[in-house]
Each structure stands twice: as C-alpha cells, then as structure tokens.
Amino acid sequence: MNGQTLHLGIAGLGTVGAGVVRLLRENAQAITARAGRAIEVVAVSARDRTRDRGVDLEGLTWHDDPLALVSDPQVDVVLELIGGAEGTARGLVEAALKARKPVVTANKALLAIHGAELSAHARENATPLLFEASVAGGIPAIKLVREGLAADRLLKVGGILNGTCNYILTAMRESGRSFDAILNEAQALGYAEADPSTDVDGWDAAHKLAILAGLAFGQPVRFDSLHVEGIRNIAACDQAFAREMGYRIKLLGLARRTEEDGIEAWMRPCMIPHSAPIANVDGVFNAVSTEGSFSGPMLIEGRGAGAGPTASAVVADVIDLARGTTLPVWGMAPKAAISCAPRTALRGQYYLRLLVQDRPGVVADITAALRESGVSLRALSQHGAEPAASEDSTSPAQAASHSVVPLALVTHETSEAAMLSVLEALEPLESVMGAPLLMKIETV
C-alpha cells in the first residue's frame, strides 16, 4: 500500500466488477481528491476474456487464476467480486489476508457464514477486510451501524434487504396477481434470477441480516441459528387480507437483544401496519432500520442492488483504505459467533391463514385449537363466502362437496411456541386444506 497511487486487482468482472472499473474512471478526479491519492485498477481476473463488459480493459494484467492477484506485486488491494460462501471466493479472501493484502468484498454469504473465522484472520495478519457492498447495495448500512452508531447501545437492527422479494410482494399487492405470475414477470424483466431460490427463499436477505446483527452487537451470529423463511407461500388472498386489516406484507429481517441478554434474529414475511414508514418502502428498494437507546429509531432506504449502487459501496471502502482508515471486521476485537434464540422463544402477534372447507363447525374447531394452546384471538376474517353463511349449509355454494375458502385470523400477543402447537392441532383436521401460512405481525 505504499506509494502515491493505490493499485487494485479485481477478481470477478460481472456487472459489479465492470461497474467498479467504470466508476473509478468516471469519478477519478473527485475520488483522488477524497482519497488523497489516485486509485487505479491494474489487474483483473475473470473466466471469459472475450466477453464485452462495456468497459475498456486494455492495458490491465489479466490473470486466469484469481489467486494470482494475491501474489502479483503490483496489486495493493484485492477486490473479491466473485461471490459464493465457498470455493474460489473464500480461498481468495483467506489467501489475501494471510498475505497481508487488504480485501474489499461484496460477498454477503461469505461474511455471514464465515465472518467469525475471517475476522480472526484479518486480526492475526493486521489486514483490513471491508464489505460495505455486501449489505443493501448503495446504502452505507455497514458504516452507519459500525461507525455512525458506534457510541450507542443498539437494541435492534433490521430491514427490507432483498429487492427481488420486495418487488414481487409490491407487484402482488398492486396487481392482485399470484406469486408465480409475478415471479415469471420479474424473471423476464431481469429483476429475478433464473434460479430464484437464493432470493425468494430468504437466504440472500438472511445473509445481510446476519452481517448487520454482527455489527450492531459487535459479535458475529451463527448463521445456522437464524430462522429463515421465504415468500413462496404468500398468496393473493394474503395480500387481500393484509389490505383489509391495514397491513402490508414485507420480507422483513430483524435482530434484537432479548431480555436474557441474548439475540433474536430472523428473516421472514411479516405483516406490518401500513402507516409504519418501512411498510411504504416498495419495489426494488431496500431499507435498513435501527433503534438505539440514545439515538432512537432510524430508517434509511435506497437502492439495494445493481451495478451502480454496489460499485459506489465497493469504491467507498477502497477510499477508506486509501485514507488509512481501518477497523476490526465487527467493529471490535473478534469474538466467537453466538447462537440466536430458538424460534419457540419468539413472541408477538401472529397472522394465521388457512384454506378451509366452507361448512358448519369449521370455525369452532379452529378456535378450539387456539384456546387449547392458550392463544387469544383478536380478529377473524373469511373471504369467498359470507361469514354468516359459513355455518349455514343452505347456500348453493355449499352443496354436496363444500367449497374451499381462505380464512385469516390475527392473535393477541402470544408465543411462537403456542402458535406452532396450534399448527400441530390443526394438522389432523379434515376441513383444513393444504398448509397453513403463519406470519408475524411486526410494528418495527
């Protein structure tokens, strides 16, 4: 890192890698002024040498093996933009840290899953590892939590952390269409991957939440202890119930301190009152919320993905390096990762949606299951048939074979353990069709 110009080696030339090259050139003058020295890409590594990436790579050293960036003496800083928790990306980051070459990465899975270990490597080798781009793209969420709120005791951190899911849920709400129809459309528009599971099953967002939790509480969380649910089971009827009850459905992540000095952390679809600021973060936008005992509540929203915002975050990290700013990975000396509280320890209000046969006695069976688990009902709504008609078999719709209608109920505050025992009690009921959908209600 000596000398005037800071020389970068980039591994991975996808949209983000190409965006970094472009940003460094377009904003070169301002970046040099802010960093106090020039910053230049000198070497790259990517699989395909021939693909047109929209940026001129003339004059850059091309390494077929990303690890060659570590041993290339002209490279001061390695930018890992390959992705994935294992394999090449992990090997490259470890090798660079061991060679005392600073690393900037956008890799959320790597940090979420191997963050404890990597922070130990970074400390042992006194080498910075920066990852602003791994969470919420252009939103400087990591700097906000680790430095902006460094003085405060954070009680919780969370947010809407996957733009694909937020786009799908927003489009479902606005159009009344199904998850599958909107997903297909999002794939056609390039907002969703051909294999959408990382996004729609909640993993991508959960990785980001785990990183935010580690920064907020100064200690990595065990990723496998997070409760993670995706949005595949949200149906058009859930959006209709949400509207009727004054909620919006969001894939929400939250990590908060528990009374027992532990941490609760989960990523799951939630019902949020529509008047809450975070309920109005729509489309591909992301949002990060914090609450501190001194700073109070805070919410930041912006573009969570895309070449431009992500490149902006990567280069902000590089500028910090150029200025000589270095911090421990989790904002303080490394600690072992801690486990989150089990799902059964969660508490709150819940939304439970069932598909039920529209015939006499069904509501009585369901409310009996709630009573037996000690869950108190706050509201109940049934669509597709008049509620009054559901106990009355004279209507034409309820002839020989009973029609199936969605039924939603909202509980008073209870434990998630109690809700899971309600689900168990409903399981054998013949009048309950298919899998019930359980969502937490969160006021954030």
Q: Which residue has the tokens 């929203």?
A: 301
**Run of H or E including 107:** none
Encoding tokens for residue 381?
């709504």
Encoding tokens for residue 47?
């699989």
Q: Which region among 123-131, 151-159, 164-172, 257-265 touches a copy of itself (by CB under 8 A)? A: 151-159
Q: Which residue has the tokens 């439970």?
A: 352
Of the listed 101, 143, 208, 250, which one is catalytic?
A: 208
Q: Looking at 16, 81, 95, 144, which residue binds a copy of itself (CB under 8 A)?
A: 144
CB of 151 to a copy of itself, least distance (A): 3
Say which amino acid occupies 153.
R
CB of 52 to a copy of itself, least distance (A): 21
**Binding pattern to a copy of itself, positions 99-138, x when CB under 8 A?**
---------------------------------x-----x
User: 16: annotated binding-site residue?
Assistant: yes
Check binding of 23 to a copy of itself (CB under 8 A). Answer: yes
CB of 422 to a copy of itself, least distance (A): 36
SS3 287: strand
Encoding tokens for residue 392?
């009355």
Phi, psi of 184 (to 5 degrees): -60, -45
Alpha carbons within 13 angstroms on the beta-carbon side of residue 308 total 4
Q: Looking at 98, 100, 323, 412, which residue binds a copy of itself (CB under 8 A)?
A: 323
Q: How far is CA 325 from the centre of its chain?
A: 27
Check binding of 8 to a copy of itself (CB under 8 A). Answer: no
Encoding tokens for residue 16?
């983000």
Alpha-carbon distance 20 to 157, whole Å? 28
CB of 264 to a copy of itself, least distance (A): 19
Encoding tokens for residue 152?
């405060």
Q: Looking at 33, 189, 399, 435, which residue binds a copy of itself (CB under 8 A)?
A: 33
DSSP 152-212: S-EEEEEEE--HHHHHHHHHHHHH---HHHHHHHHHHHTSS-SS-HHHHTSHHHHHHHHHH
Report the candidate in 82, 120, 128, 121 with the shortest Cα–Cα distance to residue 101.
128
Q: Is the sign of the CA dihedral 251, 291, 150, 337 positive or negative?
A: negative
Residues 248-287 that bind a copy of itself (CB under 8 A): 277, 280-281
Alpha-carbon distance 442 to 96, whole Å? 42
Alpha carbons within 13 angstroms on the beta-carbon side of residue 434 total 14
Residues 186-245 that bind a copy of itself (CB under 8 A): 218
Residues 52-71 that bind a copy of itself (CB under 8 A): none
Q: Looking at 9, 12, 19, 436, which residue binds a copy of itself (CB under 8 A)?
A: 19
Residues 378-417 that bind a copy of itself (CB under 8 A): none
Encoding tokens for residue 239?
């959006």
Residues 331-370 that bind a copy of itself (CB under 8 A): 331-333
Phi, psi of 259 (to 5 degrees): -60, -30
Q: Is 98 one of the annotated active-site residues of the chain?
A: no
CB of 142 to a copy of itself, least distance (A): 9
CB of 318 to a copy of itself, least distance (A): 7
Q: Looking at 3, 296, 396, 428, which residue binds a copy of itself (CB under 8 A)?
A: 296
Check binding of 316 to a copy of itself (CB under 8 A). Answer: yes
Q: Which residues bind a copy of itself (CB under 8 A)?
A: 19, 23, 26-27, 30-31, 33-36, 132, 138-140, 143-144, 147-153, 218, 277, 280-281, 292-303, 306, 308-309, 311-316, 318-320, 323, 325, 327, 331-333
Provide the annotated active-site residues. Answer: 208
Binding-site residues for NADPH: 108
Known binding-site residues for NADP(+) equal 11-18
